[in-house]
Structure 1
């Protein structure tokens, strides 16, 4: 969750606050739509909206019967609560899949259950829209995936949050030879195959997929098991890309093309190399440093005979 969307200064009240004091708070702050309710340990317990409070208070005998009762008797005990590390996309998904018939105006943000702020739905939607516009501006024209600027911004944000994340640098083996023999159109098709395979093995609500350019992709994993996901991507790509070769190449297991020195060389069918790193956010301070770690890991992955995943032990 971006810090700019969270309002940490929103009024909060203890769950034992009397209803009449809650009504007084709403009367005092005319722009207040909802009040997060916490316990003595600052744990988020629920929320009460202006409409809910006034409905209880103004119904027949409502003031006489309920004004001195603690608000915990009337609060919404199952509001939307998200952890601060939740991505904007995941928060939006949770918001739109909430079973309530009423559109949620605000939701609570916590850090390990402790209240840290409230987010207005309109601010979340505005931020997502701005982010999508910005991503589109820097998107790769072939895959429409975010490019270098959004990639760096995503990693910088995770470092700032001291988040636990992994970065995978993907690169196709023998792509240049394939592109030289079959042409750029088929080369683009191979890149598209890789993009689709990566999407199929990532959780798009938590993971970030970026296209650096050419046949280079970056995956920022927030989900579990990044190494096994990367292994599945390598295996799946190596199978899916075979459909781009002609019958002879499949029979031979590859193609002949010229290397950088002009010598005719045999190249096996394309495979994938992935360098995987687990940056230490307490020691790595910039997206540039994370990029360098991932690039070094990718170079080691390229040394693997048939492609595959190289898990770097370096964290900074």
Structure 2
């Protein structure tokens, strides 16, 4: 043992200084480190071609060229198509309703039912009560025809008609010719001889210049005034009765049994044997 205290460790001196490591030189561009060029569209087999999908280089964008589809274009076209279809359907529905209304006013036997006048007070509807009185046979001109209603409102008649183009006759006319006028759709107004001149003039104003209208005095009728259409009759006592206009409105032309046949031509003489200008 060499003393009371241990000997200090040997001193090796300061650590050697090696210095900072030299910097590494930056990599120099070379064939192996050159950046790769981006792939070009269509540069290799199977590569997507320009315009193959939206967003790819060369793909068309919406709207940048003439004729290109615009955003929302298909939606607007669909709306226009739907609106057009709805409009067409609406027009067809309206046309169908009008057609049904028109058709239902026609009578099964070829004439109009004149349904618009059924609510006229005092209306006589021979089409319903006595259809057998309304035969449409032609009788020889000049032959006297017996009618079950006075004046006649339909039935057998002569081959020609009284002209009913707004004609006001001041003398009685041949009944067989007048009934033929009714077959064409005319309204025949008759009045009892001796009716006040003012009343006659009121009636005449409803007839003049009105196609499918005629009037004449009639000997032997029970009422002051009587209105006839084919299969319908109304008797009143005054030309100012509102039912006169209602009857004319309801049955002039609409009560025809020969739609489209005119009231022009015909005979204008009260003589039933007069030479006719037309037949039908």
Give the TM-score range, shorter chain.
Answer: under 0.3
Q: Which has the higher helix share?
A: 1
Q: Which has the higher contact order (CA 8 A, sep 6+)?
A: 2
* TM-score normalised to structure 1 length: 0.22
Higher Cα Rg, which structure: 2
Query: Higher strand fraction: Structure 1 or Structure 2?
Result: 1
